Structure 1
Amino acid sequence: MVQTTSDPKLSTGHPQRSSSETDQIIQFHHPEQYRTSEWYTGSGEIAASGDNRSFEVTATYTLTAEVKLVDGVFEPSNPTLAEIYSPRGRCVAIVDRSVDELYGDALRRYFESHEIPLQLLACRAWESDKTPETVHNLLKFLGKDGCDVSRNEPVLVVGGGVLSDVAGLACALQHRRTPYIMVGTTIVAAIDAGPSPRTCTNGAQFKNSIGVYHPPVLTLVDRNFFRTLATGHIRNGMAEIIKMAVTDDPILFELMERHGVRLLETHFATLGGDEELNAIADEVIYRALFSYMKHEGTNMFETYQDRPHAYGHTWSPRFEPAAKLMHGHSVAIGMAFGASLAVELNWLEPAERDRIINLCRAIGLSVYHPILEDIDLMLEGQKNMRRKRGEGGLWAPLPTGIGSCDYAQEVSSGMLEVAVEHHKQLCAALPDGGRGQEMYLSDLGLE
């Protein structure tokens, strides 16, 4: 039994301290028997001014989340999912409709073999479905009119980056915080959007502008799913690997330079490839994940803007929907332009810029699009990004070498125009003008 008292210094069950006769600070560490979740904990303190006129509350929130590479996640012999859902008596799952067509039978057989009831919603998850309406439909499935999930019941989400964003947001809204487990079936979902704490939908002409921070409690990465992806989707996801290689991991960059083309052709060693390439594929995925989550996972609420994983994502959220580009191509254009801008700022040697551009081009990613020349749109993108990043500056990550970066607090309109012009001239000398393969959404039948 917990007793209450009018004197905060005499509260029982929680350690406390008083800093002075007039200031009282009470630290609360809630007893373990009252926890509502095995993944979330919290504590806090309340500081009273002593005049019975004001007080201040400070609270902390701790999440334990795991990211794990697995092989054959839907093989009945793999115990990972069964160990989680068997004690709970069922599994509630949201699955990308295309993934359900390819892997739905295997998923159902898995839970049947472990005698775990499965309640599954197959959801179309195209870029055009990344809307508040989709989130609302998912909430119907999760809520009282559907499965009525518990606040501590982890929803299984299986699909690509779009589904991870909208389903993660729906879980964040359901009971204000329902945990979920992410099985990413694309490269973007596996190493970027899937484990990310940022869940979202698109706003009008600005990507990912509506959302909350709510990471999965467990992310399972099984590259066997890459086998059935279109090559254009493999290429699209590799842009997110390159951004971490450029800004954080020079070894990863060298691995991509040496093996990127073969990883693309073999869908990360799932369509042929020897034992060595299998090991390389695992190392590339692990390094990309570790670099990403080292910065993203430990800065969950974007309370700091030293975020290398935002490289390529400063101007692209504005020009990507306007030009109807595939996300990876948009990011690659942003990275290539960012490298050119870094050269203008004397942050980066031209030879290193050329390595970044050459790596993107080697796997067929775009490095230029005429939309960069719309300076008004680019400046509008900067304005939007300043607001998103807290009005303290633009904080655009730009490379300072292969495997390192710094952050441009501001980029003037004059510098922006000069950098765009020089980047345009650089790419004009390329055989295809910097154009990538299957660079538009319609190229892969997504619209």
Structure 2
Amino acid sequence: MNPKRELFATSEYYSGGGQVREAVGGTDIEISASLTVTMRVSITKDVFSPGNSALRDVYQPRGRCVAVLDAVVDRHYGAALRAYFSYHGIELIAMVCPAAEPDKTLRTAEAILEFLGVNNCNVARDEPILVVGGGVISDTAGLAAALLHRRTPYVMLATSVVAAVDAGPSPRTCVNGDQFKNSIGAYHPPVLTLVDSGLFATLESRHIRHGMAEIVKMAAVDELRLFELLEEHGERLLATKFGSVGHDEELRKVGDEVLHRSLLSYLRHEGTNAFEIYQDRPHAYGHTWSPGFERHAGLLHGHAVAIDMALSTTLAELVGWLPGPDRERILALSRRLGLAVYDPILESSEILLAGQEAMRSKRGGRALWAPVPRGQVGAVGYLEEVPAELLAEAVRRNRLHAEGLPGGGRGVDAFLDAKPIH
């Protein structure tokens, strides 16, 4: 930041600059402007212990913390959170918010804005809100923060695997719209994301499982060592909730390495492309067709991503980008973790193609840029176009693959409800 302008800075977390050029003749003025956002992600331990200073350091200088809490998380950790701030003499003003997938709406974001606004908390434009919970509250409260004063900082305390490695540190805040999942949003990353795998202990196993799809995603197209760690330890990490159950410290260290490698892989690309200026985004693997069919099928997000990953991986083999054994290796890891690799929703070409065109538009309209493994596990390529005939052949091959699997390859506890909607 220009030292002469520091006195006038709106927030310590943002800086920027720009240039103004006047055309010859004085008829046109051209402006270029830039925004620099400072973000930090920290894997920590015992985040609510009085000796852990991560939250204290942010909020003690301000004398208060305004927080939005996932209602389920509040039942498990609300008392510990309140005790932590009480111990440090910091006033806590908290909104407890329902945060299931059906709550991911503009109406919920508006309710959060009302709580944060002038008639309630009167949050200042430089005051970081605390968001505590999983992916839904991360996306929804993050969008509310983006809208409040047009940009208000927030700290994300991730309590789920999805939030820890994907939604939590993501610059994309959003709610669901009529077009497809996450279709309404803004680019507004948290200034700090805290990840404490000890909080995974109270998660249902199905939420550990579907969150691990986001780790498989980064491993398959960007981080071979991460993929190998999942092959070696993934089933035990799932069973012990990343070592948080049974107090297996050695396994928890492995789990934290998996989280760290996944985050580093994700942020190497997403952190430096926070406003999605470019579409060479390996972390979009598994997210080309799934936004179009996830809600139709009633799937948990990670299972929808895993089905998309299986489809994308088969496409990579069909176009000659991936050897067959590597395709099987990726699908085998998903199967071992209980992730879905197929669902009958794929037979609806209308849904698949409509989702494909919506994603093309979202990615700029010039091409589809579907990320797929290329060359080997841990490397990525981008399919510029996927003709309907090629997509149908990939669906056919995955259907044949799934026919010999338990449950038809539909995974373990894959649905939001007890049974699929379709």
Q: Give the TM-score band, short-chain normalised.
A: over 0.9
Residue 440 of structure 1 pairs with residue 415 of structure 2: yes
- TM-superposed CA distance for 1:218, in Å, is 0.2
- Whether 1:240 aligns to 2:208 is no
Give 2:401's aligned residue: 426
Deviates more, 1:242-251 or 1:275-284: 275-284
Q: What is the alpha-carbon distance in structure 1 between the residues aligned to residue 8 and residue 86 of structure 2?
A: 34
TM-score w.r.t. the length of structure 2 is 0.97
The structure 2 residue matched to 1:417, chosen from 366, 378, 392, is 392
Correspondence list, 1:30-429, <5 A? 31-204=5-178, 206-272=180-246, 274-400=248-374, 401-429=376-404
Change (3 A) 1:405 1:123: same
Q: Where does the alignment leave 5 or more consecutive residues of structure 2 unmatched?
A: none
Q: CA deviation at 1:205?
A: 5.1
Q: Residue type of the partner of 2:207?
A: H
The higher relative CO (CA closer than 8 Å, separation ≥ 6) is in: 2
In structure 2, do the counterparts of structure 1 residues 64 and 133 end up closer, same or farther at CA, with 3 Å as the change threshold?
same
CA distance in 2 between counterparts of 1:146 and 1:185 reads 26
Q: What is the identity, as a one-letter code, of the residue corresponding to 1:431?
A: P
How far did residue 30 of structure 1 move?
6.2
Q: Secondary structure at the match of 1:108?
A: helix
- Displacement of 1:430: 2.2
* Distance across 1 between alignment mates of 2:47 and 2:242: 17
Query: In structure 1, the residue corresponding to 2:48 is in which secondary structure?
Result: coil
Contact kept, 8 Å, 1:90 with 1:116, in 2: the verdict is yes
Q: Given that residues 166 and 200 in structure 1 are in contact (C-alpha distance below 8 angstroms), is that contact kept between their aligned partners in structure 2? A: yes
Percent identical: 53
Q: Aligned with 1:157: secondary structure?
A: strand
Q: Give the whole-Å Cα distance in 1 for the aligned partners of 2:37 and 2:419.
A: 37
Query: 1:248-307, CA deviations, whole angstroms, 9 ceiling, x for partnerless residues?
Result: 000000000010000000000001253331221110000001101111111011110000
Q: Distance in 2 between matches of 1:332 and 1:440?
A: 13
Cα distance between partner residues in 2 of 1:29 and 1:250? 43
Displacement after TM superposition at 1:29 (Å): 8.7
1:295-350 Cα shifts (integer Å, max 9, x gaps): 11110111100000000000000100001101010000000111111110111111
Q: Deviations 1:64-90 (Å, cap 9, x if unpaired)?
A: 100000101111111111111111111
- Number of residues paired by the alignment? 420
> C-alpha displacement at 1:443, in angstroms?
3.4
Q: CA–CA distance in 2 between the matches of 1:211 and 1:444? A: 30
Give the aligned CA root-mean-square deviation in angstroms: 1.6
Q: How far apart are 1:98 and its partner, in Å?
A: 0.7
Give the Cα–Cα distance (whole angstroms) in 2 for the partners of residues 247 and 39 of structure 1: 32
**How far apart are residue 441 of structure 1 and its match?**
0.2
> What are the ranges of 5 or more consecutive residues in structure 1 without an aligned counterpart?
1-13, 15-27
Residue type of the alignment partner of 2:62: R
Alpha carbons 1:29, 1:43 under 8 Å: kept:
no
Distance 1:76 1:444 in 2: 43
Q: Secondary structure at the match of 1:419?
A: helix
Instruction: After superposition, give the CA deviation of every residue in 1:330-386 in whole Å (9 maximum; x if it has no partner).
Output: 000000111111110111111111111110010111000011111111110111001
Q: Which runs of 4+ in 1 moved over 4 A?
A: none
Alpha-carbon separation, structure 1, partners of 2:18 and 2:137: 34
2:407 aligned partner, one-letter code: D
